[in-house]
Amino acid sequence: MKPREKRAYILRHLDNVDESVVNDIYQKLYAAVESNESAVGFSMNGEPIGKAKLLTDLKEAEAQIERGEYVTLEELTNEAETW
């Protein structure tokens, strides 16, 4: 089951489970949100992206920009015209 399907399933059934189940879910969710690895976004495949991964990727992107490794909007527009 994909992450989105799991989330939808949980939301559909959350009101119908025992309070102890809700407490277990809450405790796990709270711990995950408070940690540095809580999901701050999702990849195109629906996989969660953690805060640490996002910060690492942002630092690499900034380094690429400083090295001049980027495509300008004009270059992208010209390239798109050939598609």
Kindly tell me the sign of the dihedral angle through the C-alpha atoms of 21, 24, 28, 31.
Answer: positive
What mean pLDDT value characterizes the chain? 91
In the chain, the number of structural domains is: 1
Range of the domain at 14: 3-80
Question: Given its phi and psi angles, is residue 7 left (phi above 0), alpha (psi -120 to 50 degrees) or beta?
Answer: alpha
Angle value at C-alpha 13, between 12 and 18, nearest 5 degrees: 155
Please classify residue 50 by burial: count the beta carbons closer than 10 Å to its beta carbon, then call 0-12 exposed, 13-18 middle and 19+ buried: middle
In tens, the pLDDT along 25-65 reads 999 988 877 776 678 889 999 888 988 899 999 999 999 99
57 beta partners: none
